[in-house]
């Protein structure tokens, strides 16, 4: 098969959730002998120099990076308030990207055009005009839900109102646009159910209109869940080599839900933990660490910023803390932590989309007292941590193994193309 990936950011280097999720499929398809071409948006916030991409990767993927200006423009943001359109999506609609896409479609025949995230959907009309390839939306999240939850956590009333507006317009676009593709790859079973519910509601509305408009077409778009996957063999599972006890968080810190979660944990949980366990250290690692975190002077909180080798960092620490209260989709770093046989303490929202069992392969805590209790149990019972970590790795080997997921993806493509 020949697959064109339209990506909202470069899949290389795979150093954060989105690129890692995209690169997983690209690499897996190439290993199975399929042809892949990549067109990716290149922005100020996630800017990649073409020369930094390995020559072999460029050769195998034909990756092209197209610069798109996603910087917030106050006047455009203000005028958008009166249009009813999603400002998030509008910023990705680029004439430069569109023209390069047209050139690519004219010069090549593809079986599948895969849109990586909802933000690449503005290019659906171009794809429909220049190719008969099937369009697949890979929804990394339920996008509007992220902003809905961020809004719920926001105290400033003006900011809260504006974030609610962004969530509402994004939801309207999401629910309208998903019906324009040929297939949907959701990141989790719960997300798949959400998209299926949109289709059911759409079908119901169409059937209600049949009495007024005979033979009105009923859309039935296939939806399946395809989570993030990894090769567990690339992650060590030797917890005895880690610093025990130690706590850590690892993630891209330019993502608002991560910042909100860390702030909440430091304000509501860490003071009591430090008081009870004064020698315990909490390590914060991740790219784009904001200044307010870098300038913190909190006892035994170690600010590392971006680490050179994320896998080595994972291996060196014991207990992963994921204090998320917003966001959507599936947390790639949790899957990585599980593969590395780490004990993970997460909120229910943080672990959303993962087929976990609380107390068996992860620990769930949603309140400060629950986090304190789980941390207390873990740092005083290393054997329990080792057991939970090994069971977490077993879950990844069974359900989040790249090889298994690529076979599922190819079966879905085959269903669409016949």
Please write the tens of the pLDDT for every residue from 353-409.
899 999 999 999 999 999 999 999 999 999 999 999 999 999 999 999 999 999 999
Summarize pLDDT for 313-368 with one digit per residue, the tens. 999 999 999 999 987 778 999 999 999 999 999 999 999 989 999 999 999 999 99
**What would the two tokens of residue 167 be?**
């969530």
Average pLDDT over residues 69-86: 87
What is the gyration radius of the CA atoms in the chain, in angstroms? 22
Q: What CA–CA distance (Å, rounded) separates 417 from 115? A: 16
> Do the domains 2-229+402-417 and 233-399 sit in the same CATH topology, yes or no?
yes
Sign of CA dihedral 301, 304, 306, 310: negative
Residue with tokens 């399929």, as numbered in its chain = 34
How would DSSP label each residue in 311-363?
Answer: HHHHHHEEEEEE--SS--S--HHHHHHHHTT-EEEE-TTTTTTS---BTTTBE
Q: Which of 16, 68, 59 is nearest to 38 (CA)?
A: 59
CATH domain 2-229+402-417 topology: Rossmann fold (3.40.50)
Domain boundaries, the chain: 2-229+402-417, 233-399
CATH number for the region 233-399 comes to 3.40.50.2000
Per-residue burial over 239-255, b = 16 or more CB atoms within 10 Å of its CB, e = otherwise = beebebbbbbbbbbbeb
Write down the pTM of the prediction.
0.84
Average pLDDT over residues 24-29: 96
12 neighbors 46 (Cβ within 8 angstroms): no
Summarize pLDDT for 97-146 with one digit per residue, the tens. 999 999 999 999 999 999 999 999 999 999 999 999 999 999 998 989 98
Phi, psi of 225 (to 5 degrees): -95, 135
């Amino acid at each position: 098969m020949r697959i064109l990936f339209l990506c909202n950011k470069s899949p290389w280097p795979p150093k954060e959730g989105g690129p890692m999720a995209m690169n997983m499929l690209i690499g897996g398809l190439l290993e199975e002998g399929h042809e892949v071409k990549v067109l990716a948006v290149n922005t100020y916030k996630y800017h990649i120099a073409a020369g930094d991409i390995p020559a072999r990767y460029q050769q195998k993927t034909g990756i092209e990076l197209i610069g798109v200006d996603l910087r917030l423009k106050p006047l455009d943001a203000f005028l958008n308030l009166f249009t009813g359109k999603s400002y998030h999506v509008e910023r990705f609609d680029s004439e430069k990207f569109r023209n390069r896409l047209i050139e690519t479609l004219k010069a090549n025949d593809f079986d599948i055009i895969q849109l990586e995230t909802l933000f690449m959907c503005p290019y659906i009309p171009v794809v429909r005009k220049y190719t008969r390839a099937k369009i697949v939306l890979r929804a990394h999240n339920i996008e509007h839900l992220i902003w809905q939850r961020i809004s719920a956590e926001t105290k400033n009333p003006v900011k809260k109102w504006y974030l609610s507006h962004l969530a509402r317009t994004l939801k309207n676009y999401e629910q309208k646009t998903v019906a324009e593709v040929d297939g949907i790859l959701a990141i989790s079973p719960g997300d798949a159910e959400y998209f299926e519910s949109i289709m059911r509601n759409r079908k119901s509305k169409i059937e209600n209109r049949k009495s007024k408009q005979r033979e009105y077409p009923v859309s039935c778009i296939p939806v399946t869940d395809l989570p993030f996957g990894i090769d567990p063999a690339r992650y060590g599972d030797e917890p005895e080599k880690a610093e025990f006890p130690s706590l850590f968080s690892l993630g891209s810190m330019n993502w608002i839900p991560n910042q909100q979660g860390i702030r909440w944990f430091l304000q509501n949980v860490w003071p009591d933990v430090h008081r009870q366990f004064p020698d315990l250290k909490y390590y914060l690692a991740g790219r784009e660490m904001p200044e307010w975190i870098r300038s913190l002077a909190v006892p035994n909180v170690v600010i590392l910023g971006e680490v050179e080798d994320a896998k080595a960092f994972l291996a060196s620490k014991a207990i992963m803390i994921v204090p998320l209260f917003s966001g959507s989709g599936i947390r790639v770093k949790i899957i990585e932590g599980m593969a590395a046989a780490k004990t993970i303490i997460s909120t229910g929202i943080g672990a959303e989309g993962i087929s976990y069992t609380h107390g068996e392969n992860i620990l769930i805590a949603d309140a400060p007292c629950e986090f304190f209790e789980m941390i207390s149990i873990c740092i005083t019972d290393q054997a329990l941590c080792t057991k939970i970590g090994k069971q977490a790795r077993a879950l990844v080997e069974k359900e989040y193994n790249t090889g298994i997921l690529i076979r599922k993806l190819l079966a879905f493509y085959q269903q669409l193309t016949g």
